[in-house]
Amino acid sequence: MNIIHRIGLLLVCITWAAQSQAAITPITGVSIDNTYTVWEETNNDGVLFNIGAGSNPLEQYLTGTAADPGDNIELGNDFDYSAWAGGALTTLTGTVDGKDVLIRSLNQGDWTSNGNSLALAYVNAALASIGKSSADWIDSPGGSTPDRTFNEAVNHFIFGDSATTSGAFVASDPNVGYVYSDPDVKDDQVKVGLQGLYDATALLSPLFPYVDYTPAPGELVQASEVMYLSFLGSSGYSYSFTATETNQGASDCYDGTGTPSADCSYTGNYEISRIPAPSGIALLMLGLTGIIATRRRTMAAGPKATKS
């Protein structure tokens, strides 16, 4: 290929990329009906600060992408355990390309309804993400780990020993980083970025002794929080066990120097896509969402900041 053709091809690619990026349609008309917190990258240095309720329009904090997540809005984070157990919710609504989208936080009832179906799906998907399943469960792992059947462990994940040890409570206030329609697919699709921990070992580690699992040196265990997402008639709980690194972090564990620790808040971006589907397919996908996208990652090399 001669130089003129190469330059021409390069210009076509650049033009196509620019058009594709321009075709992304972010959420507009955002309204939030209950407690929330805005985490804003105020100094363009990767450090996210809690700025309270922020200012209108709220969609200004939801303009990121997987490559550059930026700010996020945390839904329902000010609910205490009793409010969460009593059914408190925060709902975010808006439109994407003229189509209504709804994202909300979860309460205890979401996890316990239909025989703990969401909790069972989430814990099973978490085990699948580390190459295990409930078939590997050991009721009596020994040591200081209490004896529990698999179902007892799922109940403990929901309720905990106290308000501070409920995994479901911790996973119920999603941090939404962006919402937009995808120009690269023919079908209507919405993409949502959930910001969380790039290394979520601490969240899932209580399960490890029961399946005889120890992460390899440098291995990341990943898990997102959970949101309820409704778009064009397709509704359900969404979560992921695969993250990309954001190179940003919350101000209480990152000062903008070097690379944030992987267990610092908002260091991981969990992207979730939803294409409208018949209700039967949507129900089937509920138990598979976290499993299909699962893959295991190794820690990227680089300097790590000390958590404050």
DSSP per residue, 121-163: HHHHHHHHHTT--GGG--S---TTSPP--HHHHHHHHHH-SST
The mean per-residue pLDDT over the stretch 243-251 comes to 98
pLDDT above 70 covers a percentage of the chain that reads 81
Name which residue leads in pLDDT, 23 or 60: 60
* pLDDT computed for residue 188 by the predictor: 78
**Do β-strands 47-50 and 249-250 pair in parallel, antiparallel, or remain unpaired?**
parallel
Name which residue leads in pLDDT, 290 or 109: 109
Cα 201 versus chain centre, distance: 15
Q: b or e along 278-292 (b: 16 or more beta carbons within 10 Å of the residue's beta carbon)?
A: eeeeeeebbeebbbe
* pLDDT computed for residue 289 by the predictor: 38
* pLDDT computed for residue 195 by the predictor: 99
**Do β-strands 219-220 and 249-250 pair in parallel, antiparallel, or remain unpaired?**
unpaired
pLDDT over 70 at 16, yes or no? no
pLDDT over 90 at 164, yes or no? no
pLDDT over 50 at 284, yes or no? no
Name which residue leads in pLDDT, 264 or 275: 264
The mean per-residue pLDDT over the stretch 127-155 comes to 98
**Of 293, 122, 296, 142, whose CA–CA distance to 216 is shortest?**
296
* pLDDT computed for residue 157 by the predictor: 97
pLDDT over 60 at 140, yes or no? yes
The mean per-residue pLDDT over the stretch 209-214 comes to 98
Q: What is the band of 201 on the pLDDT scale with cuts at 50, 70, 90? A: very high
Name which residue leads in pLDDT, 290 or 227: 227
Q: Which two tokens stand for residue 133?
A: 């399943």
CA dist., res. 86 & res. 59, Å (int)? 29
The mean per-residue pLDDT over the stretch 140-151 comes to 97
CA dist., res. 88 & res. 163, Å (int)? 15
pLDDT over 80 at 92, yes or no? yes
* pLDDT computed for residue 190 by the predictor: 94
